[in-house]
Structure 1
Amino acid sequence: MATTLDSVLTAPWVSTPSDGVPTSETLRLQHEAEQVISSLLTEHLQASVDPLLHKDSHSTYLTRLLKVPLPKHFTGLDASRPWLLYWTMHSLALFDGELDTQAKERVVETLRHCQNPDGGFGGGPGQISHLAPSYAAVCALAYVGEAGWKSIDRQGMYRFLMSIKQPDGSFIMHDGGEVDVRGCYCALTVATLLNILTPDLAAGTASFIASCQTYEGGLASSAHPFSQDPSHPAPLGEAHGGYAFCAAASWSMLRVFSDTASPAFAEAPIDLARSELDVRALLRWSASMQAMPIEGGGFRGRTNKLVDGCYSWWCGGLFPIVESLLSERAAGSDKDGEEDEEERELYDRKGLQQYITLVAQAPAGGLRDKPGKPADAYHTCYNLSGAASAQHKPRVSRRLQRELAEAFVSPFAATVVDEDDSSSSDDVEVVRGEGESDEAAEVRMREVWSRSLAWQPRPGAKVVYGDAANELLPAHPVFNIAFPAVRATMAHFYAQPGPL
Structure 2
Amino acid sequence: MGMDCQATFAQDMSLDLDLHRRYFRSCLHEFLPGAYIGLDTNRMTVVHFCVHALQLLGACDQIDKDAVIKWIYSLQIFRAAGSDPAQLGFRGGTQLGNPFDPCHAPPPWGAGAKTEAKGRRGGGSEEEEEEEGTPALLGAGLSPEYDQGHVAMAYTALATLRALGGPGALPPPGAPARAALVAHVKALQRPDGAWAAVAAGSERDLRFLYCACAVSALLGDWGGVDRPRALGYIRSCQNYDGAFGLNPCQESHGGSTYCAVAALQLMGELDAFFDGGGGGGGGGDREALVRWCLERQAEGGFQGRPNKAPDSCYAFWVGATLGLLGAGALADRARATAFVAACQDTAFGGFSKHPRQFPDVLHSFYSTCWLSLAGAPGLAPLDLALGVAAAAAAVPDDSSGGAAAPGSGAAAAAQLPRGDNGGDELQEEAGGGGGGSSVGQT
Same fold (TM over 0.5): yes
Confirm or deny: 8 A CA contact 1:320 1:477 kept in the other structure.
Answer: no
Does residue 285 (structure 1) correspond to residue 243 (structure 2)? The answer is no
Closer, same or farther in 2 for the Cα pair 1:144/1:199, shift >3 Å?
A: closer
Instruction: State the shift of 1:214 in Å.
Output: 1.7
Q: Which runs of 5+ in 2 are unaligned?
A: 80-87, 95-140, 142-146, 385-394, 437-442
1:87, 1:477 → 2: CA distance? 17
Closer, same or farther in 2 for the Cα pair 1:178/1:369, shift >3 Å?
A: same
Aligned counterpart, 2:90? 121
CA deviation vs aligned residue, 1:331-352 (integer Å, no higher than 9, x gap): xxxxxxxxxxxxx832111111
Instruction: State the shift of 1:479 in Å.
Output: 3.8
Q: Which runs of 5+ in 1 are unaligned?
A: 7-43, 224-234, 325-343, 397-407, 412-427, 433-443, 466-472, 482-500
Closer, same or farther in 2 for the Cα pair 1:394/1:372, shift >3 Å?
A: closer
Does residue 317 (structure 1) correspond to residue 320 (structure 2)? The answer is yes
Aligned counterpart, 1:431? 401
1:272, 1:480 → 2: CA distance? 22
Q: 2:243 aligns with which of 218, 225, 228?
A: 218
Q: Report the 3-state secondary structure (helix = DSSP H, G, I; strand = E; otherwise coil) of the residue aligned with 1:157.
A: helix
Instruction: State the shift of 1:183 in Å.
Output: 0.8
Does residue 106 (structure 1) correspond to residue 130 (structure 2)? The answer is no
2:332, 2:302 → 1: CA distance? 10
Confirm or deny: 8 A CA contact 1:82 1:111 kept in the other structure.
Answer: yes
Confirm or deny: 8 A CA contact 2:343 2:356 kept in the other structure.
Answer: no
2:360, 2:233 → 1: CA distance? 33
Closer, same or farther in 2 for the Cα pair 1:460/1:257, shift >3 Å?
A: closer
Does residue 298 (structure 1) correspond to residue 301 (structure 2)? The answer is yes
Q: Report the 3-state secondary structure (helix = DSSP H, G, I; strand = E; otherwise coil) of the residue aligned with 1:238.
A: coil
2:366, 2:10 → 1: CA distance? 28
Closer, same or farther in 2 for the Cα pair 1:182/1:215, shift >3 Å?
A: same
Does residue 60 (structure 1) correspond to residue 22 (structure 2)? The answer is yes
Closer, same or farther in 2 for the Cα pair 1:257/1:361, shift >3 Å?
A: closer
Aligned counterpart, 1:403? none
1:300, 1:114 → 2: CA distance? 35
Q: Report the 3-state secondary structure (helix = DSSP H, G, I; strand = E; otherwise coil) of the residue aligned with 1:188.
A: helix
Q: 1:463 aligns with which of 398, 421, 429?
A: 421
Instruction: State the shift of 1:362 in Å.
Output: 4.7
2:56, 2:16 → 1: CA distance? 13
Confirm or deny: 8 A CA contact 1:320 1:395 kept in the other structure.
Answer: no
CA deviation vs aligned residue, 1:305-333 (integer Å, no higher than 9, x gap): 11110101111111111128xxxxxxxxx
Instruction: State the shift of 1:303 in Å.
Output: 0.7
Q: Quick check: which has more Rg, 1 or 2?
A: 1
Closer, same or farther in 2 for the Cα pair 1:99/1:86, shift >3 Å?
A: farther
Q: Report the 3-state secondary structure (helix = DSSP H, G, I; strand = E; otherwise coil) of the residue aligned with 1:317.
A: helix
Does residue 79 (structure 1) correspond to residue 92 (structure 2)? The answer is no
Q: Report the 3-state secondary structure (helix = DSSP H, G, I; strand = E; otherwise coil) of the residue aligned with 1:301.
A: coil
Closer, same or farther in 2 for the Cα pair 1:161/1:64, shift >3 Å?
A: same
Does residue 254 (structure 1) correspond to residue 267 (structure 2)? The answer is yes
1:302, 1:62 → 2: CA distance? 29
Aligned counterpart, 2:215? 190
- How many residues align? The count is 351
Confirm or deny: 8 A CA contact 1:82 1:133 kept in the other structure.
Answer: yes
- Pairs within 5 Å for 1:137-156: 137-146=157-166, 148-150=169-171, 153-156=177-180
Closer, same or farther in 2 for the Cα pair 1:131/1:372, shift >3 Å?
A: same
Instruction: State the shift of 1:71 in Å.
Output: 3.9
Instruction: State the shift of 1:429 in Å.
Output: 3.8
Does residue 381 (structure 1) correspond to residue 365 (structure 2)? The answer is yes
CA deviation vs aligned residue, 1:149-180 (integer Å, no higher than 9, x gap): 23892210111111111122211111131121
Instruction: State the shift of 1:277 in Å.
Output: 2.4
Aligned counterpart, 2:184? 160
CA RMSD of aligned residues (A): 3.7
Confirm or deny: 8 A CA contact 2:266 2:407 kept in the other structure.
Answer: no
Q: Percent identity?
A: 26
Closer, same or farther in 2 for the Cα pair 1:255/1:464, shift >3 Å?
A: closer
Closer, same or farther in 2 for the Cα pair 1:99/1:48, shift >3 Å?
A: closer
TM-score (norm 2): 0.70
Confirm or deny: 8 A CA contact 2:12 2:338 kept in the other structure.
Answer: no
CA deviation vs aligned residue, 1:25-73 (integer Å, no higher than 9, x gap): xxxxxxxxxxxxxxxxxxx99x985631111111111111122133443
Whichever residue aligns with residue 222 of structure 2, its letter is: L
TM-score (norm 1): 0.62
Does residue 169 (structure 1) correspond to residue 193 (structure 2)? The answer is yes
Q: Report the 3-state secondary structure (helix = DSSP H, G, I; strand = E; otherwise coil) of the residue aligned with 1:216.
A: coil
Closer, same or farther in 2 for the Cα pair 1:175/1:258, shift >3 Å?
A: farther
1:377, 1:159 → 2: CA distance? 31
